[in-house]
Structure 1
Amino acid sequence: MKKINTLKLVFILLILSVVSVKAQEFPGDDWTFNKFPEQNGWNIKKLKEYRKYITDSTKITGLVIVQNGQIIFNYGDIEENSYIASCRKSVLSMIYGKYVLNGEIDLTKTVLDLGLDDVGGLLPIEKKATIKDIISARSGVYHKEGYPGGMQEYAPKRCSVKPGSYWLYSNWDFNVAGYVFEQETGKNIYDEVQSQLAIPLEMQDWDRSLQNKEGNTSISKYLAYPMWFSTRDMARLGLMMLHNGEWKNKQIINANWVKEMITQRTSPEELNANVPVFKNTGANFGYGYMWWLWKNKDEPKLKGGIFC
């Protein structure tokens, strides 16, 4: 198993998110491959050119395009379980919904209410951050991360902003979101991914034994929850999200929670002002509950597009 560029999974979910769902169907316990995609309007020459582009010009190691419940195009080893990097938070957001809706997780609870603290202590204003702030990446807590991957180089000084008032892509927030999930529900994140998602979606490659928390507890007590999925199993997650949380006439994630997850909490304007890494890239991203939101006004095909 090798670690891969996050683009693998970004492309899976992005492509799925902008395809019409009117004619979508679901795969069985195994994916089927459409051997004649040209009959569904696909240009074979263009697909070959696309494959060459991926090979020559990207770091993508696994990708699928799905139409009508079948794989139209695939690249790389789509069965290999790989480290999905920041996509973990969007998966966590999915499993949050059940417990927000049944009241076990109260998004208005503050860090103080939850009894949370960290190495060296959190300050009074930081303890006013709510769970909602945390899963929106708007906690205003700029304690060091025990697991790198955030954008803390752009963080304001500690205690300089009120919780909820400022967006920053921060692994402190995302790791605490995982801790809060387990504290409030009494459930293990990975066990819940298995029971809420892997089993009902008939994932073919999910391996519970690969899933383990990581982090430097001398820096922060809140561990990260890395996840390992195969490309074809991530495609099942994307297809379910296209159907507003439904899979084969069964509601896997409450449709209202799906809507909540992908409701904009941070605008592209604020995001670019706070973290200028996307400026002049041609991409405009908003942010929801641990989901990125496409907001490209000049490209109608991206309307409603989401990715993790």
Structure 2
Amino acid sequence: MKSMKTTIVLLGLGVTFGLLFFLPSSEYIPPLETTWNIIEDPEEKGWSIEHLNRAKEYYYSIGSTSAMAIYKGEILFHWGDVTDVSQIHSVRKSFLSALYGIQVEQTEQISLDDTLGNIGISDQIPLTDYEKQATIEDLLTSRSGVYLQAGEESLRMRWRRPSRERYEPGTHFYYNNWDFNVLGTIYNQQTNLDLIEQFHETIALPLGMEDFTLDNAMYKYERSRSIHPSYLFRMSTRDMARFGQLYLQNGVWNGQQIIPHDWVHVSTSVHAHVPNSPYYGYGYMWWVADQGDWASLGLYSAVGRYGQSIDIIPSLDLVFVHKVNSDRFFHRTFRQVNDDTRLHLLKMIIDAKQTK
């Protein structure tokens, strides 16, 4: 009998903790102060408040911690604390894609046709002559054919890493942090600039990001794996939304062409087929919908693990940002929002516009 009571108590504690992890937070979030206009009455803009509230209920049910939608340049809604700064994981890669676009289009310091051999890229384990044939464009599309250890790799990346020289450079997509980290090294090496400082100066400041500072980005070295560091960013939901809106506006902000128009188009076009993805192909460090209704809507996304994303739908003049604060251990463990759940939430939001 004592054992049964103990079991019941433990089960009760488990349920209690589970509810604490997944129910909406009771933490007070003050009204949002921002330089952006906020849509006071979504109904006037053609959005069903009833359907948006249903989407919000689903948002809570999947363990999201913040979300924000920008419609025609104004805040349609903001859920959770959109000022909270936390890790954005692989969303960082789309930031670097933007910086590459500025350099490729405006200077001659980086050419997408440059090979790893020509610009002297190596690692702790030397590259073979075969691997040195990979170009910068191959790295941007995650098709370098270089299969070495890298920083910030997930277990899934390590398990799925092909054997060396299995695929010719430029022929096979494998989501490869070696490619992405080396792109950071190449950017700094070829331009004599610092990518973090350049992001702050050429993108964050002109966009008027409200929470991002240089202290919110860093290099992470894992020399037991690779000499090439990861470049990590922490950012608020509302600042991520500004970056998404910049792309929606074809790289223009307040009349200034920050990212070349042609680069916005080419980098968010499909360059690589992604095996086993029901939604996306791959551009230049952007996920690009290449099938079904999402492709028809023109969706492209910057995506990071645990549920970070910037989703851009040009056909609806809509930017949607979703976050799960993975700085908190239990959010990383229990609140891992994947593409299926995030895109279902986005569909519910879109349906609120389609419903009259």
SS at match of 2:179: helix
Cα offsets for 1:112-143 (capped at 9, x unmatched)? 11111111222221111111111110100001
1:173 aligns with 2:179: yes
Task: Give 1:45 deviation, angstroms.
Answer: 1.2
| 4+ residue runs over 2 A deviation | 149-156, 300-303
Task: Give 1:54 deviation, angstroms.
Answer: 0.8
Higher strand share: 2
1:104 aligns with 2:145: no
Q: AA paired with 2:139? A: I
Partner of 1:194: 200
Q: AA paired with 2:100? A: Y
With 143-152 and 230-239 compared, the bigger mean Cα shift is at 143-152
Partner of 1:213: 219
| Correspondence list, 1:70-85, <5 A | 70-85=74-89
* Matching residue within 298, 302, 321 for 1:304: 298
| Correspondence list, 1:140-159, <5 A | 140-149=145-154, 151-159=157-165
SS at match of 1:257: helix
Larger Rg: 2
CA contact (8 A) 1:126 1:159 kept: yes
Sort the Cα spacing of 1:301 and 1:33 in 2 relative to 1 into closer, same or farther, 3 A.
Answer: farther
* Matching residue within 48, 51, 63 for 2:53: 48
Cα offsets for 1:45-95 (capped at 9, x unmatched)? 111111111112x13211111123221111111011121111100010001
1:90 aligns with 2:85: no
CA contact (8 A) 1:152 1:170 kept: no
Q: Distance in 2 between matches of 1:210 and 1:196?
A: 16
CA contact (8 A) 1:142 1:152 kept: no
Partner of 2:282: 287
Q: Distance in 2 between matches of 1:213 and 1:168?
A: 23
Q: AA paired with 1:287? A: Y
CA contact (8 A) 1:65 1:73 kept: yes
CA contact (8 A) 2:279 2:294 kept: no
CA contact (8 A) 1:96 1:181 kept: yes
Sort the Cα spacing of 1:152 and 1:104 in 2 relative to 1 into closer, same or farther, 3 A.
Answer: same
Q: Distance in 2 between matches of 1:222 and 1:168?
A: 18
- Alpha-carbon RMSD: 1.7
CA contact (8 A) 1:135 1:174 kept: yes
Point out where structure 2 has 5 or more consecutive residues left out of the alignment: 1-32, 303-356
Paired residues in the alignment total 268
Point out where structure 1 has 5 or more consecutive residues left out of the alignment: 1-27
CA contact (8 A) 1:152 1:168 kept: no
Task: Give 1:156 deviation, angstroms.
Answer: 2.3
Q: TM-score, normalised by structure 2?
A: 0.72
Q: AA paired with 2:172? A: Y
Query: Percent identity at matched positions?
Result: 34
Q: Distance in 2 between matches of 1:193 and 1:300?
A: 29
* Matching residue within 18, 34, 38 for 2:39: 34
Q: Distance in 2 between matches of 1:60 and 1:180?
A: 35
With 68-77 and 134-143 compared, the bigger mean Cα shift is at 68-77
Partner of 1:3: none
Partner of 2:138: 133
Task: Give 1:300 deviation, angstroms.
Answer: 6.0
